[in-house]
Amino acid sequence: MSVFTRVVVELGRFLEPALAESATAAAIVLFTVLVRLALHPLNRAAFKGATPVAGCLPVLLQLPVFFLMYQAFTTSEELLGHRLYAAPLGGTWAGALGDGGLFGAQGLVYLALFAVIAAVAAWSTVRGRRAAAAAAAAAASAPAVRAKAAAGRSAAGVPELTAEQQEAMRRLGGVLPLLSFGTLVTAAVVPLAAGLYLAATTAWSVAERAWLEHRRDRRLAVAESGAAG
C-alpha cells in the first residue's frame, strides 16, 4: 500500500462514523485541502510576482498528487470498492452513463460534480477578466502616476507598458481563466476520485487567489490613506 493510499484510507476511517460509505470521497477532499495548505506559502510567494501566470509552479507540483490519485483508484484493491453515494470512486462517467443513463443514480453524482466545476470555472473567468481590466487600466494610468511622483508622490512598482503590451496583457488575462473549463473535460474521463480532487483543488485555487487579492487591496488602501494623511 502506498503512502498516499494509506493516508486516504486512514482519513476515510476517521470520517466513516459521520459519512458512512461516502467517507472516502470526503477523505479525498480533506487530503486535497491538506496538500493545498502545504503549498500555500509557495502560492503566496508566486502571487507577489503579479503576473497572469503566477502560480504555475504550485500547479506543476500538484501533478504527482493527481497521478497518484489516478493510479490508486484504478489499481488499489483497498480503494476500488468505495463509493460516493451510488457512484464508485474508481468508475468513470462513461460507466455511469452505461448504468442508468445521464439521470441515473450514478449519473446524478457526476452531474453534481460537473456543476461544481463549472461554477468554479465561471467564477474564475469573471475574476480573471476583471483583474485583467484592472491591470490594463493601472498600466494605462502609469504616466499620470509618475507625473504625480515628480511632485513628491511615490509611484514605485507601477510598470510602464506599451499599448501593444497592455493589449497582450488584457487578452492573456481574459483567456487564461477559460482554461478552468478544461477541468470539465478531464473530470469526465478520469475516475470519479480524481474528478473530486480536481474540483476541490480548482475551487481552492480560485478562493485562495481571491483572498490574496483582497489582502493586497487592503494593504494598498491602507498605504494610500496613510500617504494622503
pLDDT over threshold 80, residue 163: no
Domain span including residue 91 = 3-228
**SS3 labels along the chain:** CCHHHHHHHHHHHHHHHHHHHHHHHHHHHHHHHHHHHHHHHHHHHHHCCCCCCCCHHHHHHHHHHHHHHHHHHHHCHHHHCCEECCEECCCCHHHHHHCCCCCCHHHHHHHHHHHHHHHHHHHHHHHHHHHHHHHHHHHHCHHHHHHHHHCCCCCCCCCCCCHHHHHHHHHHHHHHHHHHHHHHHHHHHCCHHHHHHHHHHHHHHHHHHHHHHHHHHHHHHHHHHHHHC
Write down the pTM of the prediction: 0.76
pLDDT (tens digit, 9 = 90+) per residue, 27-58? 999 999 998 898 888 888 877 765 555 556 66
pLDDT over threshold 80, residue 169: no
Number of domains in the chain: 1
pLDDT (tens digit, 9 = 90+) per residue, 112-138? 999 999 998 888 878 777 766 666 666
pLDDT (tens digit, 9 = 90+) per residue, 171-211? 655 555 566 678 888 899 989 998 998 899 989 988 988 89
